[in-house]
Amino acid sequence: MMNMNDGLYIGVDGCRGGWIACVLNQGELRFERFDSLEQLVSHYPEFDAFLIDMAVGLRSSADQLRPDDLARKELGQKSSSIFPIPCRQAVYADSEEEQKQTNIRILGKSLSKQTVHIIPKIKELDEYLSLHPEYKNRILESHPEVDFARLNGSVVMTRKKEYPGFSDRAAILKRYLPGKDLSGMWGMAKKLKCNPDDLLDAACLAVTAALAAGGMCETIPAEPEQDESGLYMKLTIPKRIIGVPASGQKVAIVTGGANGIGKCITEEFRKQGVKVYVIDKAAGDHYVGDISDKAVLEAFAEKVIFENGGIDYLINNALPLMKGIDECSYEEFQYALAVGVTAPFYLSKLFAPHFREGACIINISSSRDRMSQPQTESYTAAKGGIAALTHAMAASFAGKVRVNSISPGWIDTAYTIYEGPDALQQPAGRVGNPMDIANMVMFLCSDKAGFITGENICIDGGMTKLMIYHDDHGWTYTPEE
């Protein structure tokens, strides 16, 4: 599985007088203009994947197969966006008229104005690969419109040279680049002396390059032919499954799901056939990472999005640090808030475009969101924050995602059976266990809870509702001397 934050991925599109490169380098996204391919590759001689929107591999006879016809068939009504590629002899002809006549002689058809216009760039690329055989079949051809169709799950019919069509495609890329700012692409074009859609196409190719490095692309044709110089004539494009939501199986995310309540929730989801992704600091057979780290959240979200296209349930359960005002440092308090409030907010934001119909977010708060013991400030503040975050997100996600929180009371994750005062002080007559919370999570995620959102449900055996007075029900208050 690819990680957008771990590698160098380059997407290149031609522009007037040069080339536009979108570079994804260790998670950083930037656009650069180069006057020549020689200059570009000299600047980035080593890369994990490099895709270019220009013909790689040229036919020398009509019986050879290039991917163009297959790509046009895939785009249907948008097939005109793929220009016919001239034969090798036409590319190296001296004049436009000779180019056209040569192509008629070899391939049986003339050349359009658009094709003639890009011949100098086709030639530049072909000559560069001839002079630098180390990059043969490493610099690969792709086509942005085919890539957008695969990333989207359907052909994008709007025109990318017009702002609405540009915005449609930028929104598709945003799904695959969580946390990256693409808002400035339209305005950046003037500075880089190119058209806005050149930047858009380069970014699409960079995303596809990242997918290719992670084994999530395929080629058309599946078994490409080589041209006379040894270049494979193929398009590298995302697999069809990438932009298509998984059919049938639900997908859940559980933070802090390696142990305790989170583990129980995970097991209950799996019993129902739900595909569960766990992220936890503890070592194990799950995504290991510290959710206080923004980069970890983004990488995790990328993995889930690329593998599934969408999610159904997000359970923000990870446990914040508990320290009190006497010992808790500034950094520790910030860490507790990062785990308990910021991470649930940011994960919800990253997955916002990917929640499927009927999706739910469940935030695990605590009865400490309304009552406290001394020296618990970091934990209590985080749990109070996530309880308030719940009703705010319920309003923001209205009509799309139901958002609720659960406030557990005393939950013994070892399923210990308590007797005497520990049990009897609770109106329910016992201490809680993880299944008490998991059962509520399953209910809130079900259609039976379809009219519940923005709610906090306290599951504490009634303990927060029991009024306690000195010398009442056998309880006496004996302050420390």
274 alpha carbon, distance to own chain's centre: 20
- The answer to whether 232 and 262 have CB atoms below 8 angstroms apart is no
Task: State the Cα–Cα distance between residues 355 and 101, nearest whole angstrom.
Answer: 54
**DSSP character for 232?**
B
The answer to whether 394 and 405 have CB atoms below 8 angstroms apart is: no
Contact 327, 382 (CB under 8 A): no
Given a contact cutoff of 8 angstroms between Cβ atoms, the answer to whether 410 and 431 are in contact is yes
**Residue 88 contacts by C-beta under 8 Å, 6 or more apart in sequence?**
58, 59, 60, 126, 227, 228
Residues 13 and 15: their CA atoms lie apart, in Å, by 7
Side chain identity at 81, as an amino acid letter?
A: S
Q: Which residues participate in catalysis according to the annotation? A: 379
Beta-bridge mates of residue 20: 13, 33
Dihedral sign for Cα 5, 8, 9, 10, please: positive
User: Which phi and psi (to 5°) does residue 333 adopt?
Assistant: -65, -45
C-alpha 51/C-alpha 21 separation (Å) is: 10
Which of 405, 377, 378 has the alpha carbon at shortest distance from 389?
A: 405
Dihedrals φ, ψ of 390, to 5°? -60, -50
